[in-house]
Amino acid sequence: MTGKTAAAERPKDLMGLSEEEYGRVLAILGRAPSLTELGVFSVMWSEHCSYKSSKKWLKTLPTTGPRVICGPGENAGVVDIGDGQAVVFKIESHNHPSFIEPYQGAATGVGGILRDVFTMGARPIANLNALRFGEPGHPKTRHLVSGVVAGIGGYGNCVGVPTVGGETNFHASYNGNCLVNAMTVGLAPADRIFYSKAAGPGNPVVYLGAKTGRDGIHGATMASAEFDDKSEEKRPTVQVGDPFTEKLLIEACLELMATDAIVAIQDMGAAGLTSSSVEMAGKGGLGIELDLDQVPMRETGMSAYEIMLSESQERMLMILKPDREALARRIFDKYELDCVIIGHLTTTGRLVVKRHGKVEADMPIQPISAQAPEYDRPWTATPAKPKIEAASVPAHDPATALKTLMACPDLASRRWIWEQYDHLVRGHTVQRPGGDAAVVRLPGSSKGLALVVDCTPRYCAADPEAGGAQSVAETWRNLTAVGAKPLAITDNMNFGNPERPEIMGQFVGCIAGMRAACTTLDYPVVSGNVSLYNETQGQAILPAPVVGGVGLIDDVGKSIDLAFKAAGEAIILIGDTAGWLGQSLYLRELCRREDGAPPPVNLAAEKRNGGLVRAAIEGGIVSACHDLSDGGLLVALVEMALAGRRGFALESKAKGDVPLHAWLFGEDQARYLVTAADPEPVLKSARVVGVPAIVIGKTQAGTDLTLDGRNLISVEDLRRLHEGWLPSYMAQEL
């Protein structure tokens, strides 16, 4: 073995390990590592795989609940939804690869998260994504939007999993680091979940799926470092996706999972064969011996190092029961996929890797995880921003402000994006993209799942704790607004360099806010992903703790959307309006200020107000519902009018002493708009539970939007502005 003969000579390139970490490697092995061994340590101890900077804080999130079958630590979270079924879901980032090569980066992001879900025995039933790009005027932005959207569509459409929802933001802080977070939701029998813990020494280790090539070598290491001006040179670390093979792999795995052949299974994601073999054997307290000559390869002359670190896509590793080999082979033959025994489990507790008959790695498995570095990185709290008084903010004409806001990059219609995604395949999409949350029916059932992703990075930057709580609360509100009972979340923590105390402070603050929100709302975290080092030349992104929420609807026929349904219905505002303009889009888009403290989040009010709304939807006493978020009250009303192709007459007398512009555009939390032919039952139930609810106007026929009897603008004029921005931008007209 090369390591032994190389004695204690320190390699020139530590592959991203620090000197201190390299010292640990020497202590564990008692000698210098071989190239392959160093590669294994490098990827396993990368930030991406080891969570070494974030683990301490992630542990503080609530992860259990009466419905939680499996929380963080497996490939995806599992939640009981009754009737013997479980929902399996996770979100994962592919930020760094997508910036380097947007189509393949985004496509393989979708492929990777799909595998995380079906490896647990779940049929993927929906995809979502959260995207963040630089400012529209930046020369790279259009190219990234175009490539990322095409990549997500290219992969998701082909595998036949509908992409039902998502969100997209633009901000200059993402000029050098876009964010691509992909979420998959699957459905499995609650008593047939597959885990990655290996068992049974001697059992065969089986390689499934596509062949191994030289793509993506050291992808996990690349994703654990900042970008510099040579990022383009990292293109070879990006993987190449083949959704056709993935589709076959899904079908073959699910067919095999319906039998009793599998002991354990795990996808080969980041760090490929290395992480899948080390994690499976490690969880089972066993050793594993691999003969790399047996690995199906699509290139010749691959070394042990390259095979162990390749991140070629559409591959799985499985521990099979010894006498089920023929059965597995028959199923994989049907789909014309490789199914090859490449090794076996041992009792030695060691990872032994052979290539051409030579031992290329022989290392203890337990210390790789047990002695992995874990850092308590220094952090400084983000300084509090002053509250901005509404009276100090200029009052713009409401119609003018509305025209600006509805066509601004962060509020303009995303139709150009989601029409490139097949959001209907499988034939169960009840609520399509464009509403508060997507709703997908469960096949053969009257139940449905509501799905959403959300985050407001500008709030998180200004006050991480409030922003973290708001991200969780907004998804909870979105699910509530379609009539769902929120079940649990998955989180994707996108931050800058954790070695900088102010960035670590953002992370710590966001976690604290999320913990509070998840606890109060009985809304545990069941899976997640951390992406750090989203920085280019020292410029960090706005922190984005993206939250993916899943809710359950008992009778999907009772779910409602945001569209006005008829003329003459009362419009009811639920929740308190203080007119909070700090960090609002009004302040940013009309006053060119990104400033002030973000709106406070009152979790008790969230819970109370949401409970009322959900009960009203279940009781059938409201006809439409929309949560209030970016842009505030008037923007939310316009979104309901656009969806329903009807106008409204708004009365401002309910505003009390709040200045009109703050009442119309403030972003106070815990608020909803509902419509009802008869408002009395809603108002009455609100009084009973002490929730603020007030009639602020009514829907009307035609397209006019009026404020206190004065005509503001036609909803069709706003539609042209709202729908026009993104297509015009992408067609390079702007």
Partner 1 sequence: MKSAVIVFPGSNRENDVVDAIERSSGKKPILVWHRDTDLPDVDLVVLPGGFSYGDYLRTGAIAARSPVMREVIRRAEKGTAVLGICNGFQILCESGLLPGILLRNASLKFICRNVGLKVETSQSLFTQRYQTGDVLSVPVAHGDGNYFADPATLDRLEGEGRVAFRYCGTDGSVTPDVCPNGSARNIAGIFNATKNVLGLMPHPENATDPLLGSTSGRPLFDSLVDALA
Phi-psi region of 592 (alpha: psi -120 to 50; beta: other; left: phi over 0): left
* Residue written as token pair 């390259």: 306
Q: How far is the CB of 443 from partner 1 (least distance, A)?
A: 8
One-letter amino acid for residue 4 of the chain: K
Task: Give min distance, CB of 414 to partner 1, in A.
Answer: 13
Q: Rounded to an integer, what distance in angstroms lies between the CA atom of residue 418 and that of residue 234? A: 29
Q: Least Å distance between CB 36 and partner 1?
A: 33
Active site residue 48: yes
Q: How many CB atoms lie within 10 A of CB 141?
A: 20
Taking every pair of Cα atoms in the chain, the longest distance, rounded to a whole number of angstroms, is 88
Placement of tokens 């030695």 in the chain:
348
Q: Copy the structure tokens of residue 217.
A: 């070598």
Smaller CB distance to partner 1: residue 214 or 441? 441
Encode 250-282: b = buried (16+ Cβ within 10 Å), e = exposed: bbbbbebbeeebbbbbbbbbbbbbbbbbbbbbb
| CB of 391 or CB of 731, closer to partner 1 | 731
3-state DSSP call for residue 731? coil
Q: Which residues bind partner 1 (CB under 8 A)?
A: 150, 153-154, 157-160, 242-245, 247-248, 334-336, 418-430, 441, 556-557
Q: Which position among 94, 96, 171, 396 bears the catalytic label?
A: 94
Residue type, 656: G
- Least spacing, CB of residue 541 vs partner 1, in Å: 28
Amino acid at 90: K
CA dihedral 539, 514, 504, 102 (to 10 degrees): -40
Q: Which two tokens stand for residue 20?
A: 């201190």
Nearest-10 crossing angle of helices 243-257, 325-334: 140
Helix axes 715-730, 398-406, angle to 10 degrees: 30
Minimum distance of partner 1 from residue 556's CB (angstroms): 7
Residue closer to partner 1, measured from CB, 189 or 244: 244
Query: How many CB atoms lie under 10 A from the CB of residue 394?
Result: 9
How many residues are present in the chain?
734
Q: How far is the CB of 571 from partner 1 (least distance, A)?
A: 25
Nearest C-alpha neighbor of 654 from the set 663, 642, 665: 663
Distance CA 335, CA 330 (A): 9
Nearest approach in angstroms of CB 417 to partner 1 is 11
Angle (CA) 200-206-207 rounded to 5° is 150
Cα angle for residues 73, 343, 236 (degrees, 5° grid): 65
Please return the burial class of 549, using the count of CB atoms within 10 Å of its CB with bins 0-12, 13-18 and 19+: buried
* CA-wise closest residue to 83 among 551, 446, 525: 446
Check if the beta carbon of residue 261 is closer than 8 Å to that of residue 203.
no
| Strands (DSSP E) found in 445-541 | 448-454, 485-494, 525-531, 535-536, 539-540
Residue 670 makes CB contacts below 8 A (sequence gap 6+) with: 473, 477, 575, 576, 601, 602, 605, 606, 609, 610
Angle between helices 715-730 and 141-159 (to 10 degrees): 100
Q: Of 250 and 693, which CB lies nearer to partner 1 in the complex structure?
A: 250
8 A C-beta contact, residue 131 and residue 167: yes
Between 384 and 424, name the residue whose CB sits nearer to partner 1.
424
Nearer to partner 1, 195 or 335 (CB): 335
Beta strands in 515-643 (DSSP E): 525-531, 535-536, 539-540, 544-553, 570-574, 624-627
CB burial of 671-695 (b: ≥16 within 10 Å; e: otherwise) equals bbbbbbeebeebbebbeeeebbbbb
- Evaluate whether 584 touches 665 at the Cβ level (below 8 Å): yes
Please, what is the minimum distance in Å from the beta carbon of residue 97 to partner 1? 21
Minimum Å gap between C-beta 176 and partner 1 is 27
The phi and psi torsions of 247 (rounded to 5 degrees) equal -60, -45
End-to-end Cα distance, the chain: 60
Of 242 and 627, nearer to partner 1 (C-beta) is 242
Is there a contact between 312 and 212 (Cβ–Cβ < 8 Å)? yes
* Residue with Cβ nearer partner 1 (84 or 244): 244
Residue of 48, 96, 218, 396 marked active site: 48
| Cβ closest to partner 1, residue 159 vs residue 281 | 159
Taking the complex as a whole, how short is the minimal distance between the CB of residue 335 and partner 1, in angstroms? Answer: 7
Nearer to partner 1, 416 or 533 (CB): 416
Minimum gap (Å) between residue 329 Cβ and partner 1: 16
Residue closer to partner 1 by CB (options 189, 568) is 189
Nearer to partner 1, 354 or 428 (CB): 428
Closer to partner 1 by Cβ: residue 368 or 430? 430
Shortest spacing between CB 427 and partner 1, in angstroms? 4
For residue 525, give both structure tokens: 């975290």
Min dist CB 657 to partner 1, Å, is 44
State the catalytic residues: 48, 94
